[in-house]
Structure 1
Amino acid sequence: MRVFQFTKAGSMQLSSTDLENAAASAVAGAANGATFVTLRSERGLEHLFVTDDAPGQNGVAFSVARAIAGRSDEVDEVPDLLSVPGLAVLQFRRGTTPLQDTQSGADFSALSRIIGDMLTPGEWLAVSVREAGQRWEVRAQSRWLDYHGMRTHHSRKSGAPVAAFWAGAKSNDRAREILLRA
């Protein structure tokens, strides 16, 4: 396992669309299961990229850092995310209706501030990404969106990754709140 820490190296000058394209290009090279973690510690807000030892992951970390006007440094110490008493994972229940107002196209710096402001020491938010590798999975998502009349949706973009959202906090209720607010 390899862990990279992102630190700010300048201010983002890209538009939301350009930033989304740069980040999507960088994430496309990430190994399945690669995870981005935002953690509030005693040192402040920490942004990590956790991946396996697959070839090219150093380049992925560098590209993501460059997209967000940051720097990536490989670190040896991995935070114990399971040490918190409360965990939650974002799930869609049967009968759920998709929403048009997703975070797709949102200002990354504003999202980062919102997440950073809501986390208290010891709390974290993680996003694991993978390819929608199974054809049935892509078709099932497409049929679900068609059923609800969603002709345009960010998940319909070519190469759109599948993401799993996780949160850790002082209680399960607080972890669920973090997921709902993010």
Structure 2
Amino acid sequence: MARGECEAAVGTAAREDGIELSKMPAVSWLRSRGHLHLPARAQAALPIMQRAFELLGGDVEAMRGKRLSNLPNDLLHSGSRTMVEVDESQHFISMRGVTLDLLEPESAGFDLREYRGLVAALHPRSDRYFAAKVTFGIPGPRSRGRGRAYFDLLRDVVAPLMGYRVVRVAAVEAASSDGAKGAAAYCKARERLLAATGSSALTA
């Protein structure tokens, strides 16, 4: 599978509906040191991120010692400042369920009930995805998965404070290719994306 194929397919399907999504450029407020490097405007996110960091077994000194770099993001509708995050199965790990419980339903850019259900269904397999890989700052077993849950939450709570809306698209349907999976994911999230971006569908 080609890296980014699923995200590209979401972008292609959206374009057919009149929603122009592009690869989101790096932003200085989403960095590799997470809540330890928040700008003043995003300080309201600090309590929830500190709590998540503790629950996920984070190490403050190790996180502080990481090389400071920008985090990669998925797609952006620049006109409405809507970030579109395409979540494949590896995002639905057991510890993502812990971070979901820290979010308020009205503030989430996705259906929390749906995401909790996907975590319950997919985590036995997703917890094994790159299980031996390490996210520096979050040591211990399944470090990569716990790190992914932490940085997904970082986007959820920091982006709105910086003037962005986050819409999450779950791309977990069984499909013949990542492209087909991305197209199916867009169809499920179509109405939310149209509403978030203020777009009018070009197709019926």
TM-score by length of 2: 0.23
TM-score by length of 1: 0.25
- Structure with more of its chain in helix, by fraction: 2
